[in-house]
């Protein structure tokens, strides 16, 4: 029996022993496999409730203290990932409208898996869920009432971005080069924000597609990035809740390697978002608001 050497392990990746069975007549191979790390993060919002997410920490947690409205980010790193996920989650859940609504975010000194948050006016909030544990693929639950609740308060996005069809594939290729956890494990999702010049300005990875999107939105919030005319790339399918998170951030174009759901298409069209799926091999399928694609010009969809 042979044994394969394992490449070095980075944050977000765990090494586990395994046996590879190559096929009939071939000997088994003992190898150390690399898998995506799954950890728990509890966001405890004072006066509102707690939210426990299953996530992938791809950067060190020990260099991050927190965030305060008076002093900004308190961290010894340029990428305080745990704060990005926390801020992005609070934003896409509708608990904050901007970082101005956050008095404090603090990573617990005794347990880096807990972030405590103080919001300026918690009594004014009417969260759609609280005190919940969400899996890595957690989405919206319920009937049409749940859909209406999810999109309540959203505004139509502007119509300023324009993209050539070939740029979808170029952007996906650029995102793939930045997916270091996926390269090692094959088990992580990614989300990347691109600007009106079709340049990627932020990228995040996580075992959960919702987390990856929350992280990259949170990165932009913490950096006070101008998101006008921007779009977002996703390595996953396009579900309703992913679309509503992106609309809340004001992204004009949403594109993914996989398929959209019918509700995702409906809501994207209602709020003026250009939705592209199956971005692979030089092709892309546009499901809503085609006017932002140069080759389609003034084309419309029913």
**Could you identify the residue written with the tokens 């896409």?**
92
- Contact in structure between 241 and 92 (CB atoms under 8 Å): no
What radius of gyration, in Å, describes the C-alpha atoms of the chain?
20
Instruction: Please indicate whether residue 220 is annotated as part of the active site.
Output: no
Select which of 33, 108, 138, 230 is catalytic.
138
End-to-end CA distance of the chain: 60
The order of strands in the sheet holding 274-280 is 200-206, 189-194, 231-234, 253-256, 274-280, 283-288
CB atoms under 10 Å from CB of 100, counted, come to 9
Q: How many C-alpha atoms does 169 have within 13 Å on its Cβ side?
A: 8
144 sits in which H/E element: helix 144-151
| CB-neighbour burial class of residue 183 (10 A; exposed 0-12, middle 13-18, buried 19+) | middle
- Contact in structure between 292 and 162 (CB atoms under 8 Å): yes
Q: Looking at the annotation, which residues are catalytic?
A: 138
């Amino acid at each position: 029996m042979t044994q394969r050497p394992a490449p070095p392990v980075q944050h977000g990746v765990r090494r586990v022993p395994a046996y590879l069975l190559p096929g009939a007549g071939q000997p088994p191979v003992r190898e150390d496999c690399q898998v995506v790390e799954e950890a728990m993060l509890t966001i405890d919002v004072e006066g509102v409730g707690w939210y426990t997410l299953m996530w992938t920490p791809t950067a060190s947690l020990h260099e991050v203290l927190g965030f305060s409205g008076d002093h900004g980010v308190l961290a010894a790193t340029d990428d305080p990932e745990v704060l990005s996920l926390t801020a992005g989650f609070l934003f896409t859940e509708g608990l904050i409208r901007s970082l101005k609504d956050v008095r404090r975010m603090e990573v617990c000194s005794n347990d880096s898996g807990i972030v405590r948050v103080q919001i300026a006016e918690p009594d004014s909030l009417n969260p759609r869920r609280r005190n919940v544990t969400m899996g890595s693929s957690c989405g919206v639950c319920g009937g049409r009432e749940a859909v209406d609740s999810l999109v309540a308060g959203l505004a139509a996005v502007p119509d300023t971005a324009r993209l050539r069809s070939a740029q979808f594939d170029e952007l996906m290729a650029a995102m793939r080069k930045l997916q270091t956890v996926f390269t090692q494990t094959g088990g992580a999702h990614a989300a990347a924000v691109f600007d009106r010049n079709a340049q990627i300005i932020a990228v995040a990875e996580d075992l959960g597609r919702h987390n990856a999107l929350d992280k990259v939105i949170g990165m932009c919030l913490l950096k006070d990035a101008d998101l006008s005319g921007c779009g977002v790339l996703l390595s996953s399918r396009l579900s309703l809740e992913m679309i509503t998170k992106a609309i809340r951030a004001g992204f004009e174009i949403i594109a993914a390697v996989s398929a959209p759901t019918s509700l995702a298409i409906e809501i994207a069209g209602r709020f003026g978002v250009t939705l592209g799926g199956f971005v692979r091999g030089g092709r892309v399928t546009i499901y809503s608001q085609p006017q932002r694609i140069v080759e389609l010009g003034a084309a419309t969809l029913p």
